[in-house]
Amino acid sequence: MTTTTATLIDVSDVTKSFATDGGEKIVLSGVSLSIRQGEIVALLGRSGSGKSTLLRCIAGLIAPTSGTVSFKGEVLNGANPGTALVFQSFALLPWLTVLENVELGLEAKGVRAEVRRERALRAIDQIGLDGFESAYPKELSGGMRQRVGFARALVVEPDVLLMDEPFSALDVLTSENLRGELVRMWSDGTLPTRTALIVTHNIEEAIQLADRVVVLDSNPGRIKAELAVTLPQPRDRRSPGFEALVDEVYGILTGQQAEPRASAVESGARQGAAADGIDIPLPAVSTGELGGLVELLAERGGQDGLAEIADELRYEIDDLLPVVDAAQLLKLARPQGTELRITEQGRRYAGADQLRAKEQFATLAMEAAPLVRRIVRDLRHTGTGAIGTDDILAELRTYYGTDDAQRQLDTAIDWGRYGELFEFDADSGRLLLPTHPDAEQQRVS
């Protein structure tokens, strides 16, 4: 796709933070990015990288805490007049027909009814929904609803089409079909816009669609790498060039994680006993997922490519990389470039029977998972062998938002219960030492 040097959107040193129960959470930090006329840019990153927040800043739906977003040289102070947004959740009004939903943006711009109808019908035809003008959203499949979302965005002929994970709510075959049609329309010039920004956590999707892939780091979100994609369209996912780019992105993403974790451990040590390291997040991964990954590596001779593992499991970034993080944290496996390799400890874990695997996991969790270790310590120091989760959650919220704090506690409980380090009574919201009478009663019942 041909690009020009004209800059439509300029993001300059944008930082965005939100208030939390514990104070403030920085989601984006010092992000600078330009989007030029005629190019497709993909924002790629794992959960917590601020992809959707950055997209909303560009759309003018939220304002940066600091820094600026400009459209054609003018700093935004409200909605961006040159963009239209396609949402992940379709966002259709159920009481309106397909035609009426598509007309909404034109109506908001004050376009006359007859012109509005003509343009909406043309957009509906272009996007492959001819014959469904009078249908209501409830009559449509997920793929057809998203087509309505595309038609509604394209009918206003935006300078820049913004897409927030537009295919993630669809099944694999439908999303593949819609992506392919979008590429075709882009290539043959039938789309009324030539510039787009797409947020995704699917590496292959980013490389299939984009001329440039911007990789964001997490917590807070900041740009770590940009890759030009010069492969001709339509792109063959099995070609060496495509596979090399997929491997390169996986290498960037896994390479980001080792150094931040080490610095976070050092930071926790400097902060001393007040936090006990619970400000170092646990990957939100179940013990079943972790065990499955280690067993898969063992079955494959001890190593496999990250892209191949993701393809085998049909995992995306937010599915695979947290499991890789957990395996690395517990020293069961380690990424090397674009591959994941099992450790000797991982081999023992994969080959152990259930009892020995639990014992090994308990030892590893106590060594490497500060929140698990903190809970066990508190339980051992209380006179009752039981503690409530409310105080733990309150403390976690000073480091994480409400939802993330709950996920941290849920993960610690899952790990602790699997390793038989403690029990959890959901009815009373208490954590119990295995020797506590209530814990023993739970096991009997």
Determine the Cα–Cα distance for residues 287 and 68; give it in Å rounded to an integer: 43
Determine the Cα–Cα distance for residues 136 and 314; give it in Å rounded to an integer: 32
Q: Comparing C-alpha atoms, which of 365, 374, 378 is closest to residue 332?
A: 365
pLDDT at 439: 52
CA dihedral over 325, 327, 329, 331, signed as positive or negative? negative
Per-residue pLDDT of the chain (445 residues; tens, 9 = 90+): 444 468 999 999 999 988 766 667 888 999 999 999 989 999 998 877 888 899 999 999 999 999 999 999 999 998 898 888 888 776 788 898 888 888 887 887 888 888 888 888 888 887 778 888 888 888 888 788 888 888 888 888 889 989 888 877 666 777 777 787 777 777 777 777 888 999 988 888 899 889 999 999 887 889 999 999 999 888 888 888 988 898 888 888 877 333 333 333 333 333 333 456 677 788 888 888 899 999 999 998 888 888 888 888 888 877 888 899 999 999 999 888 788 899 999 999 988 888 998 999 999 999 899 999 999 988 888 878 888 888 888 888 877 777 788 889 999 999 999 999 999 988 888 998 887 565 555 554 5
pLDDT at 165: 84
DSSP string, 164-215: ESTTTTS-HHHHHHHHHHHHHHHHHT-SS---EEEEES-HHHHHHH-SEEEE
Sorted by sequence, the CB contacts under 8 Å of residue 429 that are 6+ apart come out as 388, 389, 390
pLDDT at 238: 83
pLDDT at 260: 35
Which residues face 115 on adjacent strands? none
pLDDT at 313: 82
pLDDT at 434: 83
Reduced to 3 states (helix: H, G, I; strand: E, B; else coil), residue 67 is strand
The pTM of the full predicted model, rounded to 2 decimals, is 0.74
